[in-house]
Structure 1
Amino acid sequence: MNETKSPSKNAEKLQSTESLILFDGVCGLCNKFVQYVLNHDPSGRFRFASLQSELAHEILSRHGKDPALLKTIYLIRNPSRPDEQIFSKSAAALRIIGELNGAAKGLKLFLAVPAPMRDLGYDMVAAVRYRVFGKHDVCPMPTAADREKFLDI
């Protein structure tokens, strides 16, 4: 059963959150990416919330982003603090990967490629992600061990 978090509880969790990943909770590819992050983030610095959550709507609206658009992943640095930063598409994905353990870490070098070129490839994958990787009817629930890392459940 999903428990609704009070705003104060979310605010409390955000205060101790360095990096928040907002992802399409029903996208098969996005959920695989979240699992990859969970498996390669031994320090546990990343927290997660689905783009379909109230928390994501609040953050994205604050930055003038349309919360209904689900074709990107977002990385929020220092959420709900004065120095909050938001990254999307390839900038978000590459920054996230660059902070993980594993061979994929080297992909961060692609940040040197101009964003329009990187995002063209990102958009091509985003356009077919449901067809290729599937779409869930509801956001999958994390394991009990990972549940505390998800701020929207």
Structure 2
Amino acid sequence: MENGKKIILFDGVCNLCNSSVQFVIKRDKKDRFRYAALQSDIGKQLVQERHIDTRQVDSIILIEPGVAYYTKSDAALEIAKDLGGFWSLLGVFQWVPTSIRNAVYDFVARNRYKWFGKKEACMVPTPELKAKFLE
């Protein structure tokens, strides 16, 4: 893994999650992030190493270099902050209690397949994007 890069683990078969990853890639001007599906071998390894219960978090995890990680709404807000510019303004939502933010997050996560659909297999990155994905 590349030193200093933050890793976004995502549900590789979720259309909303895949669209979100594409959104971040387009706006990650400082190349801060690398990506892996939770279902991939490296995704499973990273989750296991950090003792993250994927029964509680099955859609997005942000891993900082070292051992720190964020889940659910905290992960989304940290990613937005790192994108900078307008997106960092979303940090104002960190003032909303985590329990409320995560309730909204969990509601969307529970319904993501119904609302946005699901792929049969994880996304395969284009050759240009392959370097941004961990194997």
TM-score (norm 2): 0.91
Superimposed CA distance per residue, residues 90-130 of structure 1 (whole angstroms, 9 cap, x where no aligned partner): 00011001111453331121112111111000000001100
- Contact 2:14/2:112 (<8 A) preserved: yes
- Contact 1:17/1:46 (<8 A) preserved: no
- Which structure would you say has the larger Rg? 1
Q: Distance in 2 between matches of 1:117 and 1:40?
A: 27
Given candidates 97, 104, 109, the residue that maps to 1:114 is 97
Superimposed CA distance per residue, residues 126-153 of structure 1 (whole angstroms, 9 cap, x where no aligned partner): 011001111000112112211100002x
Given candidates 53, 73, 87, the residue that maps to 1:90 is 73
Gap change, CA 1:119 and 1:27, over 3 Å in 2: same
Q: CA deviation at 1:71?
A: 2.8
Q: SS of the counterpart of 2:134?
A: coil
Q: Give unmatched runs, 5+ long, in structure 2.
A: none
Partner residue in 1 for 2:19 = 32
Q: Distance in 2 between matches of 1:68 and 1:147?
A: 28
Q: Distance in 1 between matches of 2:58 and 2:93?
A: 20
Alignment of 1:1-153 (within 5 A): 14-67=1-54, 71-78=58-65, 83-101=66-84, 103-152=86-135
Q: CA deviation at 1:70?
A: 5.8
Identity, in percent, stands at 39
Q: SS of the counterpart of 2:88?
A: helix
Q: SS of the counterpart of 1:74?
A: strand
Q: CA deviation at 1:16?
A: 2.1
- Contact 2:63/2:70 (<8 A) preserved: yes
Q: Give unmatched runs, 5+ long, in structure 1.
A: 1-13
TM-score (norm 1): 0.81
Q: SS of the counterpart of 1:127?
A: helix
